[in-house]
Each structure stands twice: as structure tokens, then as C-alpha cells.
Amino acid sequence: MTKNKTILRALAGETLPTPPIWMMRQAGRYLPEYKATRAQAGDFLSLCYNPELAAEVTFQPIRRFGFDAAILFADILLVPQALGAEVWFVTGEGPRLSTITTQAGIDALKPVEAIHETLSPVYETVKILSNGLPAETTLIGFAGAPWTVATYMIAGRGTPDQGPAHALKAGNRPVFDALMERITDATVLYLSEQIKAGAEVVKLFDSWAGSLQGADFEDYSLKPMQRITAAIKALHPGVPVIAFPRGAGEHYRGTHDTIGAECIAVDDGVSAEWVAANVQTNGCVQGNLKSSHMVTGGDALVSETRRIVDALSKGPHIFNLGHGITPDGEPENVQLMIDTVRGG
Ligand code: CP3
């Protein structure tokens, strides 16, 4: 059964004649059917905690496009919420959280074992997906990497330069380290439950890894992802891990080995040719197409898609964007990307 799943084959190191494909944020606001289900749920977080509807939006892009993988519909900010932070979304602006910058804030967090009280609906979603997906479709679970989750918990919102998190790291290292540790431990438990419920692969999103300079990149992006990966592999041998240290630039080199992940997801800040020569040499790679092609489409989309497929054709490759599709992406352009990857 495993062997019919092209995503699992690529993650096992196989070079396939046609790369399997899925897309970051493939369930999302560019799809009218997503907007309809979200309206039915009421708001974004209610959608995340409604197993039937969260499964429905996960299925939608599989039905419409036949992607080779489905990614669980949830959010990286559910873990902070499960640890006791307040989380809400402001329409048109993004997430807001209660902030943590002191030892008292750490002490007020829930113990990691308590996260399942909040997150159990997510495990239900995974079960529905695991039972309902086509036999050839791989189910990917996910969590935010500790640094990225910490940046939101410290600042209380998304920040362009992650300034508040860098300030806490510089100004109160024990509190910063305690927060990173709590997130790391919670993430292991969370991903482990997703796997028990049926997730076949897990992905760690370190969306803000690019602002960590020098040794900080090793200490706060790579090492926490390595710890989580090692813990997951000890609990669930054979479950592949995809790591996404977004914005790593030339530091993508060597990350398969330092993290211990089967696959490294790359953004669009490096060229596919560079990735082939410097990253794919150590294992499977995923990503790279600029999300803006989903807005603009046309010949540029086709030629860039072909260029990435060609550049990465000599090793294990999963086709994907360099970051999530935006709400102004066109479903027709997604179809054109898929046809180009599959049809040459
Ligand atoms: O990819 C998928 O289809 C699976 C679901 C998924 C979502 N968020 C749904 C979502 C995944 C894997 C995520 C990860 C996530 N969430 C990340 C890491 C990946 C990345 O984009 O860098 C981050 C940083 C978040 C936090 C987050 N969630 C932000 C900053 C926002 C607001 C920005 C935005 O696009 O509106 C969200 C909201 C969010 N998460 C939406 C979706 C579909 C849009 C919510 C809506 O419907 O209004």
C-alpha cells in the first residue's frame, strides 16, 4: 500500500519520473468551496476545531485537483492555545495572542500533557481523513517549529522582523529557553498523537527561521527541529519528517543531516539549480516555485515550473510552492501548474 503512495516513495529517497505534488495552503481562501465551509463554521478557529468541517476543507483540494498529499487542516497557533495562551484572529490582519515575556507567564502555562484537552478535535480530524482519503493520497500532519511558534507567543502577533522574540532571547535567556522547551515538548506530544490518529508524514514549519543569524540559526531553528525529529522517530520509527527552515539561504546546505529529516522544504529565495547541487545531494527536497505564479499564471508559470522539475529531476523531489498560495491565487493557475508537472 505504502508503495503506491508517490509522496512516501519520494520521501524514502526514490527518484520518480514525475515528481508528486501538493501545495502549501492548498485548503484556503483562493477556493470558493473553502470560503463557503468557513462561513458555515463561523470563524477560522471554529473551523480548525470542527473535525467534520476541517476534514471537509482538507478534502476539497484533493477532490478538485487530485494532489498527491493532503495536509491536515489546522494551524500552528493551536499549540499556544492548548498551552493556555489566548489566540484570536482579526479579519484582514491576522493572528493575535496574549503575550509571554516573563517567568510568571511561563508559570501560568499549562503542563504539556494538558494540550490534548484542547487538541483532541484535531486528532479526530486526522482520523476522518485517514479513513476517507483516496488510497494513493498521503496524509501529512504538521506543527510549527518552536522558534516560529515562540515568535507569535512573545510578540502576540506576526512581526516583520521577529523583533520582540529576538529581544527576549537577548534580554532574558532563561525565560526564552523555558518557552522554547515547553513548545518543543508539546510539539512532540502533538505530532505523536497526529501519527497515532493516522498521519503518515509530519512537517515542521519554521517560517521565521530566516531571521536567526549565525549560531542562533543552529541553536533555535535546527536544534529544536532535530530534537523533535529524533523524539518522533524514537516513538514512531519509519514516519518521515519534512522540515521547512524558511529563509535559510545558503544555510539550507546540510540541514537534512543536522535535523535528521527525510525532506527539506525550500522557499523561493534559492534557485532550483543551487538546491540540486547543494541540498538534494543529501535527500528529498520540496518547494521553490514562487507563490505569485498562482496569481499571474501564463507562460512564466509554465516555464518556471518546468525549470524546477528539470533542475530537480536527478534526485528525490516533491513539487510544491516556496510558500503558501495567497487568497488572490487563481484555481486555474493551480491546475496549470499541476498539468505542467504531470504532463511535461
Ligand atoms: O496548508 C494547508 O492547507 C493546511 C493548513 C495550514 C494553515 N496554516 C491554515 C490557515 C497550515 C499548514 C498553516 C501553517 C501556519 N499557520 C504557518 C506556517 C506556514 C506559513 O504560512 O509560513 C503560520 C506562520 C501560521 C499562522 C497563521 N495562520 C497566520 C500568520 C495566519 C494569517 C495569515 C493569513 O493567511 O490569513 C493564519 C491563518 C490561516 N491558517 C488561514 C489558513 C487557511 C487563513 C485563515 C482564514 O480562513 O481566514
- Tens digits of residue pLDDT in 175-222: 999 999 999 999 999 999 999 999 999 999 999 999 999 999 999 999
This prediction has a pTM of 0.97
Q: Please give the positions annotated as active site.
A: 25, 29, 38, 75, 152
Q: Given pLDDT bands bounded at 50, 70 and 90, which one contains residue 92?
A: confident
Interval 225-236: pLDDT, tens: 999 999 999 999
The phi-psi region of residue 94 (left if phi > 0; otherwise alpha if psi is between -120 and 50; otherwise beta) is: left
- Domains in the chain, start-ordered, CATH in brackets? 2-244 (3.20.20.210)
71, 76, 97, 148, best to mutate for ligand 1 pocket (most atoms within 8 Å of CB): 76
Distance CA 1, CA 19 (A): 19
Instruction: Say if residue 91 is exposed, middle or buried (CB neighbours under 10 Å; 0-12, 13-18, 19+).
Output: exposed
Closest residue by Cα to atom 23, ligand 1, is 76
pLDDT computed for residue 3 by the predictor: 67
Nearest to 102 by CA among 166, 159, 174: 174
Given a cut of 60, whether residue 252 has pLDDT beyond it is yes
Nearest to 246 by CA among 221, 280, 278: 221
Interval 22-64: pLDDT, tens: 999 999 999 999 999 999 999 999 999 999 999 999 999 999 9
24, 25, 53, 125, best to mutate for ligand 1 pocket (most atoms within 8 Å of CB): 25
pLDDT computed for residue 1 by the predictor: 52
Average pLDDT, stretch 125-149?
98
Q: Is residue 190 within 8 Å of residue 115, measured between CB atoms?
A: yes
3-state SS class at 107 = helix
- CA of 53 from ligand 1 middle (Å) equals 16
Q: Which of ligand 1's atoms lies nearest the C-alpha of 71? A: 4
pLDDT computed for residue 344 by the predictor: 62
Average pLDDT, stretch 118-126?
98
Given a cut of 90, whether residue 242 has pLDDT beyond it is yes
Cα→Cα distances 181→178, 187, 203, 210, Å? 5, 10, 19, 20
- CA of 109 from ligand 1 middle (Å) equals 23
Average pLDDT, stretch 158-174?
98
Closest residue by Cα to atom 4, ligand 1, is 73
Nearest to 188 by CA among 231, 243, 126, 239: 231
pLDDT computed for residue 4 by the predictor: 84
Nearest to 101 by CA among 209, 187, 179, 185: 179
3-state SS class at 206 = strand
Ligand 1 binding pocket, CB closer than 6 Å: 24-29, 38, 44, 71, 73, 75-77, 94-95, 142, 158, 205, 207, 324
Largest pairwise CA distance in the chain? 57
What is the enclosing helix (H) or strand (E) of 203?
strand 201-206
Distance CA 257, CA 52 (A): 38
Q: Which of ligand 1's atoms lies nearest the C-alpha of 158? A: 30
38, 46, 75, best to mutate for ligand 1 pocket (most atoms within 8 Å of CB): 75
Q: Which of ligand 1's atoms lies nearest the C-alpha of 246? A: 22
- CA of 48 from ligand 1 middle (Å) equals 11
Q: Is residue 284 within 8 Å of residue 263, measured between CB atoms?
A: yes
> What DSSP designation does 324 have?
P
Order of strands, edge to edge, in the sheet holding 317-318?
69-71, 138-144, 201-206, 241-245, 263-266, 284-287, 317-318
pLDDT computed for residue 299 by the predictor: 98
Q: Given pLDDT bands bounded at 50, 70 and 90, which one contains residue 138?
A: very high
**Residue 223 is which amino acid?**
K
Closest residue by Cα to atom 25, ligand 1, is 76
How much of the chain, in percent, has pLDDT values that exceed 90?
98
Residue recorded with cell 495536509: 71
Closest residue by Cα to atom 40, ligand 1, is 75
Q: Which of ligand 1's atoms lies nearest the C-alpha of 207? A: 22
Residue length of the chain: 344
